[in-house]
Structure 1
Amino acid sequence: MKFWKNAGVLLIAVSVPFFLMMTAIRLLLTPLYPEIEYRMPYFPPDPYGFTLEERLKWSKISIEYLLNDSDLSFLANQKLDPQTPLYNERELKHMLDVKILVQQMITVWSILAGVYVILLAWAWRRGWMTDLLRAFSWGGKGAIALILLILVSVVLNFNALFTAFHQIFFEGNSWLFRYSDSLIRLFPLPFWRDAFIWVGAFTFLASLILIWIEKHTRNISR
């Protein structure tokens, strides 16, 4: 039994930083984020003519594609006008790559959430809750260290961080596009910079809550 307890503690401590970041990303994958982001006073207008309403329309359709079970034709059939597709073939290929990555992330996120529930229920019955909460606290501290590193990178050189992220998850230069392409017009660099900041802020706050819960519980049990 001690082995399984230690294994559960290790799993939680190591996985919590990634679980919290995945939770933040999942929250971004809703129409609410573009609704807020596009209305920021510093957000750049589209030099090729997308209005706010058009950006909201096409960004929501793009997010819907990432989350639904449709194949690539869902996006390929979207038209800016009868002769102009929303995305060209290169953009469609990238969106397919992003969809695969997002779906894999959601699967891992869901599995981890289920494992956490099972471990917490088991710990409650076995009297190991203190150990499990301590593991969540350790994970929260690890997440804070990781997020501070990421946020410092955002401030110092976001372009390098953004490039490194894409080089890790996508092949070659498949993620590079022209400024006139719809993907860049809908999702320019400030969109992603603010997304990184949001993920960092959410993860930081959630980590503090985990640390506080463990500390508060420990004080009560004394």
Structure 2
Amino acid sequence: MMDVIEDRHDLQPEVNMDESQDTDEPAFDWMKTPQHRASSSAPAAAEPDRLADTSAPAAAMSSPDAAEDGSGEEHSAKERPAELSSAERDEAHLEPSPTTALQMRPPEDEVRRRTAQREAAAKAKPVAPRVLQVLMAIFLPFLLLIAAVRLVATPAFLWLEYFRPGFPGDGYGFSVDDRLTYGSYAVDYLGNFAGRRYLGDLVQPSGSALFTDAEVSHMADVKNVVLLTYAAGLLLLVFFVVSYLVLRKRRGAFGRGLFAGSIVTFVLVVGLAVLAVLGWDRFFTDFHRIFFSQGNWTFQLSDTLIRLFPGQFWIDSAIVIGVLTLLVSSLIIIFAWPTKRSAED
């Protein structure tokens, strides 16, 4: 009884759960592989194949050689579709190009022209780094000179000057302490934002004004020049910081800019030093005429500015500014000397 039930269960048809009735047939002809094409043409060629199968034994019986040849042809015919299918199987997954124009090679002249353009573009160096290096070479002398002037325009330099051996004294009664006190007022005025009263209200122990109106007016002009110079120095410093941020990714680019600027600085300072040595009075006069064209910078020997800042003070200041600038530029030349490797980058 159990055997009969099992047999009935085996005879029940399998239920198809796929309701889409979809097949594995590709949607387009160009997507069909050789196997699909062969399967689609199989029903049409079934009848000739059946006829060929019935005639094959007769041909084999009539001629043994023919049987041997037929078996070889049949064997090669069975192997050829397998070989073709293995070679075309990979091509079946590639969608054919809609046009064959992309597969055409351009003329040789065009190929050489494009190759030359690519090589020239690869060898060409960007313009921006070159421009920054040129600007660095131009601006570095001014930055170093402004920094040196800022170091000299301090009460500390006044102290060194007034107490150094050989510095001329005041023939009108100022002691070293008086000079240091009044001179510090004048130097501080150049760097602060106070008005003219900062110097105009100063008086001597006798009650008379320390500075005349002409002296206060000249110091106000000097202050405007000094403040503009300091502002320019800050802008130049910002420029060099930005240049460093831009050029740091290029090996040796920032150093080459500093090196070129140091050479320019060295030559410029040496040239100015030669002019100053050949004629200090002419050099000092021309310098004041550039910045104070109105001509209110000449005073008498008894005026406070001359007593505080005699001619020797300006000579020493020029020497210190020149030496500091040459020292810094020389150090930059030594440490930024371009090597062969950095020059090639």
Instruction: Give the structure-1-normalised TM-score.
Output: 0.93
Of 183, 196, 214, the residue aligned with 1:72 is 196
Give the whole-Å Cα distance in 2 for the aligned partners of 1:207 and 1:48: 41
1:219: Cα distance to partner?
6.7
Name the structure 2 match of 1:13.
Answer: 137
C-alpha spacing 1:219/1:40, structure 2 compared with 1 (3 Å): farther
- CA-to-aligned-CA distance 1:115-163 (integer Å, 9 cap, x gap): 1111102211xx2251221111111111111111122223222111110
2-structure distance, mates of 1:49, 1:152: 36
- 1:142 matches 2:257: no
Q: Distance in 1 between matches of 2:137 and 2:222?
A: 28
Counterpart of 1:205 in structure 2 is 327
- Secondary structure of the corresponding residue to residue 38 of structure 1: helix
Alignment of 1:46 with 2:170, yes or no, is: yes
**One-letter amino acid of the structure 2 residue matched with residue 2 of structure 1:** P
SS of the residue aligned with 1:80? coil
Does structure 2 conserve the Cα–Cα contact (< 8 Å) formed by 1:154 and 1:193? Answer: no
- Cα offset, 1:188, TM superposition: 0.5
RMSD: 1.7
Structure 2 distance, partners of 1:74, 1:48, is 23
Contact 2:252 2:342 in 1 (8 A): no
Q: Which protein is bigger by CA-based radius of gyration?
A: 2
Q: Distance in 1 between matches of 2:196 and 2:280?
A: 30
**Which residue does 2:51 correspond to in 1?**
none
Q: Which runs of structure 2 are paired with 1:23-172 in the superposition (5 Å)? A: 23-81=147-205, 83-124=207-248, 127-172=249-294
Q: Distance in 1 between matches of 2:155 and 2:230?
A: 17
Task: State how far apart, in whole Å, the 2-side matches of 1:20 and 1:190 are.
Answer: 23
Counterpart of 1:108 in 2: which secondary structure? helix
- Separation (CA, whole Å) in 2 of partners of 1:218 and 1:79: 61
Distance 2:224 2:294 in 1: 17
Aligned residues: 219
Bigger shift: residues 145-154 or 47-56: 145-154
Answer with 148-157 or 92-101: which moved more.
Answer: 148-157
Which residues in structure 2 correspond to 1:167-186 (within 5 Å)?
167-186=289-308
Specify the alignment match of 2:115 in structure 1.
Answer: none
Deviations 1:20-64 (A, max 9, x none): 111100111111111111122221111111100000001111111
Amino acid at match of 1:202: L
Q: 1:118 to 1:129 in 2, by over 3 A?
A: farther
> For residues 80 and 220 of structure 1, do their structure 2 counterparts lie closer, same or farther at Cα, with a shift above 3 Å needed?
farther
Extract unaligned runs of 5+ from structure 1.
none
Q: 1:112: how far off?
A: 0.6
Comparing 172-181 and 93-102, the one that deviates more: 172-181
Check whether the contact 1:120–1:132 (CA below 8 A) recurs between aligned residues: yes
Matches of 2:242 and 2:170, distance apart in 1: 48
What is the identity, as a one-letter code, of the residue corresponding to 2:270? L
Using the size of structure 2 for normalisation, the TM-score is 0.61
User: Percent same amino acid at aligned positions?
Assistant: 31
Contact in 2 for aligned 1:120/1:129 (Cα 8 Å): no
Q: Write the letter of the residue equivalent to 1:49.
A: G
- Given that 2:251 and 2:342 are in contact with CA atoms closer than 8 Å, whether structure 1 keeps it comes out as no
